[in-house]
Structure 1
Amino acid sequence: MIRQIFHSFGKVEAFLSAPKLRRVELSNAFLLEFLVLPVEQLISLKVNDDETDFDPVMFVDILPRCKQLVSLEISLPPEGFIGFSTRLSILLPTLRSLEVTCYNAADNILRCITTPLLERLSIRYYYNRDLDGLVVDMTAFQQRSSTALLSLVFYPSITANRGHKVTEKVIAILLQELTLNGYPNYHRTENKGCLPQWICVQGYDPFAVVVGW
């Protein structure tokens, strides 16, 4: 019903004349198709998950123009989206916090963005059919951005019989992050007590792994 209303009005450009608009939060992702936003001046963009079909290519169009963005939170559709290919390059030079929900390793935004100032990264990943691919993308993202993360939160949705296997992959991700951030010896038992890190694993379906320093 709401989508039909927006279709009847067409593109809404009223926000282009709002020079003080800095933060946008949308409860429905499809609104990106109808709202013409001054994304160049935004410092915060949050697009909540919804059940309405929308064209996720809107993210590919909008994000490269978000050069002042400090905080980004997006949910990608469960149907599958191949817009974030490794051939795409998106630089978010001021981004410090990123929270993303995706349902497929091929959908994740980490494979194409560079965020040199990122401090906090949170990933919710469902249907872990290609966790190895996600590990590769996360490693390449970290190497490309050379960012010193202060917090990494990873929520893979798993079942109990796969818990230990997935946990090993997640720990590999965390150790890679720590090594690239100047803690090359963190994986050695004798050095674990020397750093103000903590890793928390909660449950199996889902479970969360958190590292911060």
Structure 2
Amino acid sequence: MTQVARLYLSQPRIEGPIYLSADDLLFLQNRISAAEHQIMVLEKHVRETLTRELKKQAKKIEILLLKNILSPIRRVPVEILSLIFELACSSLHFPDNDLMRSTCVVSSVCVAWRNTAQATPRIWSKICLSRTKHPKAFTGSVDWIRGWLTRSRGHPLLVSLDVQRVDPLDEVPSFRFTQLVQHIVGFCHQTRWILFSGDAQVFLPLFRLPSASFPLLEGIYMNILPAQVLTHLFPNKVQTFLAAPKLRHLEVAESVDESLLKSLALPENELTNLVIRGQRLLSSRSLDLDILYRCKSLVNLTIHFHYGQKFQFAGFDESNRFVLPALRMLDITCHPVTGARRGVNLLRSLVAPHLEFLILRWRGQPYDQIAVDIGIFQSRSMAQVETFDFKNFSGTTVDQSGYLTGCLLAMLRTLPTIKVFKFGYGVYDADFLLREMTYYNKEPVLPNLKRFELAHAYPRGWDSSRETPTLHLTSMVLSRTVRTMLDERAPAILERVFLYGPQFKEDAERILLIAPGMYLRHYDSYQDHNQV
């Protein structure tokens, strides 16, 4: 390399003319050729590296394919895989609003799974849509619902559609929901359960169907607002469900304007389960009595109305008694009766000779009146009530403990056939009640008791430091389990005992020490019991 060439190459920036000799030109040309050769060599190495990387990726794919072929799930017959999908998509671990999501997930894993999923009609037989939980389902076209339900291939359907507007910023047009309902009613012939809530106008395509449209329908849940729309549009009542031969379950959520029951023509004689919930102003007794008179096949009856001063309860007419000969379960709220025409709570108007399960939920009715209601009901029905549960019963002061306990004892003495009793004792004199349940050579309270549960039930604002003791718990349990001699007057053997609360630990240990074979379970809290 000449001095001139070296000088030029060492300069980062060349300004001015360049003067090169023949040797300089030859040298620079050789440098260019050498650099180009190196580029070619490097490019060859890059191509070889890329080729090796592609081969590596291909081998990885081959390995995945081989593992996929060897996977145990691949050897599972389609029928078994389909059954797995059914179990996964109907698992109780998923809430109803996630049932569709699980179906979409299993059908999106691979082509084989998608084909199997689409050939499994049962996983497409449930559709649960909520305006608040699935807002994207209502944007754009809703024609997808037809494809979803078509894949059910005639399998009985459960359809849940909640289009109540909760978010004021929700601007989904109502016609979109109506289109969805129109698609759904096209499958009315295979619908087994239908649950719908929202604006009455949205569901008009459903209410305008003829009476023989639901041959498989077994259950309905309705929460329609405003109910007056149906009364106005259907003066002869909605006939859609009248000729549903398998309809057995009806649940309605009453509103403040008018009763849904007033607008529905129903096969009352076929209903076995009736649930009425809501906050309707109960200023008229005739409507509820009217349907109860006709539902002679009811097995389960639930009537829940909200508690509050703004809600009135006119009660029932005691002189108009009605008989439900098949009723086995009654779950009602106990309200104070208001209005000029003094009515009574449901128990005083009802005769149910085969009632076995009685659940009362306190909504302000005086306790002594409830005890009287139970006594009157029992004197007319002579029912063999086996399970008695009372919820939300509470006092406002500690001084009420004796009064509440006395009322409770009056209820229990009226129902001597009770076999299952759960006692939340926070507001009661628990020890006094336990003493009355203890066998001392005379018949105790609840002589037929076989399952007993004891737990706390403190109302809001209750001073837990004033808790009454439970000194007679051990003696009560042992008096009903340990038999040293034949005694015809002795109560039934107590078969199962559940104690919820850390304060019962010593009692549980003491009882099991004396009666080691007894079925007794102790939990620190009721929540711990639910997690087992």
> What TM-score does the superposition give when structure 2 sets the normalisation length?
0.35
Question: Deviations for 1:156-209, whole angstroms, at most 9, x for unmatched residues?
Answer: 24324334421221122112211799xxxx8563265985242646424289xx
Q: Aligned residues: percent identity?
A: 30
Match of 1:51 in 2: 279
The aligned length equals: 202
Q: Partner of 2:379: helix, strand, or coil?
A: helix
| Alpha carbons 1:43, 1:71 under 8 Å: kept | yes
Residue in structure 2 matching 1:125, options 362, 381, 398: 362
| Alpha carbons 1:126, 1:157 under 8 Å: kept | no
Question: Deviations for 1:103-122, whole angstroms, at most 9, x for unmatched residues?
Answer: 12654210011101110010
Distance of aligned partners of 1:143 and 1:52 in 2 relative to their CA distance in 1, 3 Å threshold? closer
Distance of aligned partners of 1:205 and 1:163 in 2 relative to their CA distance in 1, 3 Å threshold? farther
Q: Does 1:90 align with 2:322?
A: yes
| Alpha carbons 1:158, 1:204 under 8 Å: kept | no
CA distance in structure 2 between the partners assigned to 1:200 and 1:81 by the alignment: 35
Q: Name stretches of at least 5 consecutive residues in structure 1 with no aligned partner.
A: none
Q: Could you tell me how far 1:52 is from its partner in structure 2?
A: 4.1
- In the alignment, residue 229 of structure 2 is paired with which amino acid? I
Distance of aligned partners of 1:42 and 1:111 in 2 relative to their CA distance in 1, 3 Å threshold? same
CA distance in structure 2 between the partners assigned to 1:26 and 1:9 by the alignment: 19
Match of 2:346 in 1: 109
| Alpha carbons 1:160, 1:205 under 8 Å: kept | no
Distance of aligned partners of 1:205 and 1:57 in 2 relative to their CA distance in 1, 3 Å threshold? farther
* Greater shift in the superposed pair: 153-162 or 95-104: 153-162
- In the alignment, residue 133 of structure 1 is paired with which amino acid? Q
Q: Partner of 1:172: helix, strand, or coil?
A: helix
- In the alignment, residue 92 of structure 1 is paired with which amino acid? L
Higher relative contact order (CA 8 A, sep 6+): 1
- In the alignment, residue 141 of structure 1 is paired with which amino acid? F
Distance of aligned partners of 1:57 and 1:158 in 2 relative to their CA distance in 1, 3 Å threshold? farther
Q: Does 1:205 align with 2:459?
A: yes
Match of 1:80 in 2: 313
Residue in structure 1 matching 2:266, options 21, 37, 40: 37
Residue in structure 2 matching 1:168, options 406, 414, 433: 406
* Greater shift in the superposed pair: 104-113 or 84-93: 104-113
Question: Deviations for 1:114-160, whole angstroms, at most 9, x for unmatched residues?
Answer: 101110010112213x3222211211111211111110112224324
Distance of aligned partners of 1:81 and 1:201 in 2 relative to their CA distance in 1, 3 Å threshold? farther
Q: Partner of 1:122: helix, strand, or coil?
A: strand
Structural RMSD (CA): 3.0
Q: Could you tell me how far 1:9 is from its partner in structure 2?
A: 1.9
Q: Name stretches of at least 5 consecutive residues in structure 2 with no aligned partner.
A: 1-198, 200-224, 338-342, 420-435, 463-493, 496-532
| Alpha carbons 2:324, 2:352 under 8 Å: kept | yes
- In the alignment, residue 169 of structure 1 is paired with which amino acid? C
| Alpha carbons 2:374, 2:414 under 8 Å: kept | no
Residue in structure 1 matching 2:377, options 136, 141, 148: 141
* Greater shift in the superposed pair: 50-59 or 90-99: 50-59
Question: Deviations for 1:90-112, whole angstroms, at most 9, x for unmatched residues?
Answer: 10000000100131265421001
CA distance in structure 2 between the partners assigned to 1:170 and 1:99 by the alignment: 17
More helix by share: 2
CA distance in structure 2 between the partners assigned to 1:199 and 1:22 by the alignment: 33
* Greater shift in the superposed pair: 133-142 or 51-60: 51-60
- In the alignment, residue 98 of structure 1 is paired with which amino acid? L
> What TM-score does the superposition give when structure 1 sets the normalisation length?
0.80
CA distance in structure 2 between the partners assigned to 1:89 and 1:200 by the alignment: 36
Q: Could you tell me how far 1:28 is from its partner in structure 2?
A: 2.6
CA distance in structure 1 between the partners assigned to 2:383 and 2:272 by the alignment: 19
Q: Could you tell me how far 1:67 is from its partner in structure 2?
A: 0.9
Distance of aligned partners of 1:166 and 1:201 in 2 relative to their CA distance in 1, 3 Å threshold? farther
Distance of aligned partners of 1:160 and 1:198 in 2 relative to their CA distance in 1, 3 Å threshold? farther
CA distance in structure 1 between the partners assigned to 2:314 and 2:241 by the alignment: 28
CA distance in structure 2 between the partners assigned to 1:88 and 1:194 by the alignment: 33
Moved over 6 A (4+): none
- In the alignment, residue 170 of structure 1 is paired with which amino acid? L
Distance of aligned partners of 1:202 and 1:180 in 2 relative to their CA distance in 1, 3 Å threshold? closer
| Alpha carbons 2:418, 2:448 under 8 Å: kept | no
Q: Does 1:18 align with 2:254?
A: no
Q: Computing the radius of gyration over CA atoms, which structure comes out larger, 1 or 2?
A: 2
CA distance in structure 2 between the partners assigned to 1:19 and 1:75 by the alignment: 27
